[in-house]
Chain A
Amino acid sequence: MNASVEQQAFRSDARDWLAANFPPALKDKSYRALADKDPALAADLEVWRSRLAGKGWGAPTWPAEYGGAGLGHPQAKVIQEEMEAIGAFNPIPTLAGMGVTMVGPTMLEYGTDDQKARHLRGMASGEVRWCLGLSEPNAGSDLASLGTKAEDKGDHFVVNGQKIWTSGADISQWCGALVRTDPAKPKRDGISFVLLPMDQPGVRTRPIPLISGASPFCETYFDDARADKADLLGELNDGWSVIKRLLQHERQSQTSAGRRKLDNEEPLQDLAKRYVGTDADGTLSDKDLRARLTDNLMAAKAHELTIARITAEARGQVKVSAAASILKNSATRVAQTKAELKMEIMGAQGVGWDGEAYEADELASVREWLFGKAASIYGGSFEVQYNIISKNILGLPETTQKG
């Protein structure tokens, strides 16, 4: 069989399997609706999760022995496309927190056989949720100046310190944390990456409400928490290499411009026509808004085409590369501008906080707009991405002083 015939056969098999296994009640539902614990859907979601996990399609490109399906990126893309075609979705990366998108790919490269055997299946099945302890109150973008200490106690480390913005820490079972293992060395040379269970007396979490209301972000405190030596990811004091790789995976995972069309999300131009109105010739009556709206739609299209181009150039294998920084910033800008436009289109209906005066999606758009402000801050701020582009891609000299 030649490659395209093979691909076609795979597509047809995937379509059949999805048709037979995806619970119809979940069609076109967003993960958010499910996370709100609609009890009628929870049982279907569990069925769907376990079938996907059994098939290895929660993390399809991972090796089968670690819970994946050992597929190539073109095939994973086919699965994704076929899911979208029937209004299905893969809940496992979300259930696994930072597991499938970041910790797992990094562990596949840096982990020991024992670590892979113990941890990867739980991520790939969506049964074990992971969070990441990276940022600290006194080290945001300057990650290398972190202060959380890990003291060597022979077979384990004792961890003390505080992390912030640990997304999902209050509901995670495991945490991948960046800790200082040698305070005597220069900043980046004394850091290690450890994995530690969250369910232990030395770990405490506190959710952080944001300007948009409740949030997945937490503060996490380590007071004599324990991390086994067997759970040191990468070499001792070489956590900086591990984290650089992990952050590339993070940028990669943050490159899609806004969530995909769920719940039959209304196109922005249709929303505008509804709220703003049109002239006799069918064009939006607010010309200035129309021009800016078009700029945003064009930027979204340019972003989408760039992802497609980079994928095509890599011949299906999307490498974790510096291009992720360009895409992360582009995704952020498109999504943030879109949220601003949505509010502007809604006018007075776009500034509601609660109560009867507003529709549910009007209220949701306000929260989304506010929460979206985080996108240019987390995962390396907009400015940090520009530093990465200017230094790593363009080869300009370091723009910040080394510590």
Chain B
Amino acid sequence: MAALSEEQSIIRDQAKAWAVEQAPVQAFRAVRDAHLPGAFEPKTWAAMAELGWTGIVIPEAYGGSDLGYLTFGLVLEELGRNLTAAPLFASALVGASALLLGGNEAQKRALLPEIAKGQAIVTLAVDEGPRHAPAATAMTAVAEAGGFRLDGEKTFVLEGMAATHLIVAARTAGRPGETAGITLFLVPADAAGIRRAPIGTMDSRGYATIRFDGVAVPADAVLGAVDGGFPLLDATMDRARAGLAAEMLGTAAAAFDLTLDYLKTRKQFGRVIGSFQALGHRAAALFSSLELARSCVEAALQALDDGAPDAAQLCSLAKARMGECLYDMSNDLIQIHGGIGMTDEFDAGLYLKRARVLEAAFGNRAFHRDRYARLLGY
């Protein structure tokens, strides 16, 4: 754990206590089995806004508390531990970040206070194919009288069914594969020509495919610069990547705690299985990986708060290292638990399924290894 300020410690402790009492894994299981329309409990979401978490990265002038990304990460870690489902990450971190980084004054004033109140749910719609590839954006935005016309399809849109607003990456110039020519648009989710369909992901969260057929948006719907939206998109996604890594850290830590507890209690051949050296070493390796990944996650969040020049590198590092850690952790969670780990009744499977979806979101390990290498110039 980073050397936290008093305020950060209070928020972390509050998040820890709240998640365990109000939104533990059993609560997520209930959400899963209830097939709720947004794939989260509205009262859970309302409670998060009540606690002020929706305004953590939003400046006070727009109704937030301006406590920064490291603080947000502390909350996400606790939610990740408990697999708590809510649009907090998608809207209060990713949506708010896009507006903070690229929004004009009118856009910020209109939406940031609504995000902070939990009234607006703003999400980012970027990917169009099965793998995260922002430069591959093919969706078109053609300039027409007074604005643009959007045509295309976005997939794997986080909280896509519950969203009130979408931040959409579309191509105003160039060809798929090029970073130049991409523009971001802020679009109300109920605009004419938008059709949304839920995707049934194995982690039972609220993803959607969103189809845009001749969606007309005014010129002032542009976020950032026309044709020059990629750096804004990338910077927004870096915040998303660091935030996801923080959530993954919590998920991995919980998976580790479950595993360690089992190693200390389960008996085979007349001894607790944790006394077998092969398993003791596995636990040591998993724990070491978790500690090393934690350093990367905290460094990435801190770099975002500091506006450090190597923030992009650190965000890719965090997502990649945390991806590897959670991958190993979730696999060993099942393996070490043996048969019981395979049952739906036990929580291990929920962690495993969530782990793979988190890995795919905003770039998997291969994506971030490649990006890290490019950022280092090779």
Contacts and interface: CB of A to CB of B under 8 A. Distances in A.
Interface of A: 269-270, 272-273, 278, 282-284, 290-291, 293-295, 297-299, 301-303, 305-306, 308-309, 312-313, 315, 323, 326, 329-330, 383, 385-387, 389-391, 393-400
A386 B275 contact: no
B1 A386 contact: no
B263 to A, nearest CB: 6
B293 interface: yes
Contacts, number: 119
A313 B272 contact: no
> What are the 7 closest A-B residue pairs judged by CB atoms, nearest first?
A390-B280, A389-B284, A305-B295, A386-B284, A397-B275, A396-B274, A306-B295
A302 B369 contact: no
13 contacts: A269-B373, A270-B378, A301-B317, A302-B293, A305-B298, A323-B291, A330-B292, A386-B284, A393-B287, A395-B264, A396-B275, A397-B271, A399-B276
B280 A272 contact: no
B296 interface: yes
A272 B275 contact: no
Given A298-B372, A394-B283, A269 B378 contact: yes
B288 interface: yes
Contacts of A299: 292
Main secondary structure of the interface of B (DSSP, over half): helix
A309 B2 contact: yes
Chain B interface category by residue count: 35 or more
B260 A394 contact: yes
A375 B272 CA distance: 32
B174 to A, nearest CB: 17
Nearest to A391: B280
Nearest to B3: A312
B319 to A, nearest CB: 11
Given A390-B281, A400-B277, A298 B291 contact: no
Contact of B378 (A284, A309, A391, A397): A284
Contact of A298 (B264, B288, B320): B320
A305 B296 contact: yes
Interface in B228-283: 260, 263-264, 271-272, 274-277, 280-281, 283
Contacts of A272: 378
Nearest to A298: B317
Q: Which one of B263, B293, B378 has the greatest number of beta carbons of chain A within 10 Å?
A: B378
Contact of B287 (A291, A306, A383, A394): A394
A272 B274 CA distance: 42
A305 B2 CA distance: 11
A161 B238 CA distance: 61
